[in-house]
A and B are shown apart, each in its own frame.
Chain A
Amino acid sequence: DAKTTQPNSMESNEEEPVHLPCNHSTISGTDYIHWYRQLPSQGPEYVIHGLTSNVNNRMASLAIAEDRKSSTLILHRATLRDAAVYYCILRDYNAGNMLTFGGGTRLMVKP
């Protein structure tokens, strides 16, 4: 899987939007962009994924740059429960089925 770069940590206030960036300048045409998060002492949890177009689901939105070299996970109203490590992962199914986790971004939410 191609490499992704994320900030080590970010802070947010409760009930405010959060934009979590991810750079993936070496992304290939067949790479899907997946986001997972890991709450403290829990297993990772799927958040969202996309290929080229922006995506929305009940948890978050994913904004993908036109050149696909970067993306942003958007939490519209952060809650204390959103405090977690967020992982941006590129998946090329031609290269295997595993998830390759980087360091992720630790999101801290202040009340």
Chain B
Amino acid sequence: NAGVMQNPRHLVRRRGQEARLRCSPMKGHSHVYWYRQLPEEGLKFMVYLQKENIIDESGMPKERFSAEFPKEGPSILRIQQVVRGDSAAYFCASSTNTGMTDTQYFGPGTRLTVL
């Protein structure tokens, strides 16, 4: 059973460009979470999605960031008009349910560098 897959692993963008980060959850997982880790900082929750629905986006910046998890295909985190402060590692996690013993399984991350 393949783990959570993220691509690309490294992404370089110039200021003002768009960044698209993809996450394929573990097989059988219908819950996806995105976290961001800024340089020398801890991991911060961004958004929680189930298939075709955003459940909790309380950690998402109000502008330029969006996320989706379509019925078919990977979850996408989209950052429009990137700025240098968006440079970070973006991690996706997936789980089977949200019960009391829910475990989140993380991917290897996408490291975004904005020039």
Whether A46 and B105, one on each chain, are in contact in the complex, defined by CB atoms closer than 8 angstroms, is: yes
Query: Chain A interface secondary structure, helix, strand, loop or mixed?
Result: loop
A38–B89 alpha-carbon span in the complex (Å): 13
Number of interface residues of A (CB under 8 A): 18
Size bracket of the B interface: 20 to 34
Q: Tell me which of A32, A38, A44, A45 has the highest count of chain B C-beta atoms within 10 A of its own C-beta.
A: A44
Q: A32-B100, A43-B91, A96-B56 are in contact. Are A101 and B106 (CB under 8 A)?
A: no
A53–B106 alpha-carbon span in the complex (Å): 26
Which of these, B43, B44, B93, B101, contacts A49 with CB under 8 Å?
B101
B25 within 8 A of A: no
A98–B93 alpha-carbon span in the complex (Å): 10
A102–B104 alpha-carbon span in the complex (Å): 16
Which of these, B33, B42, B103, B109, contacts A42 with CB under 8 Å?
B109
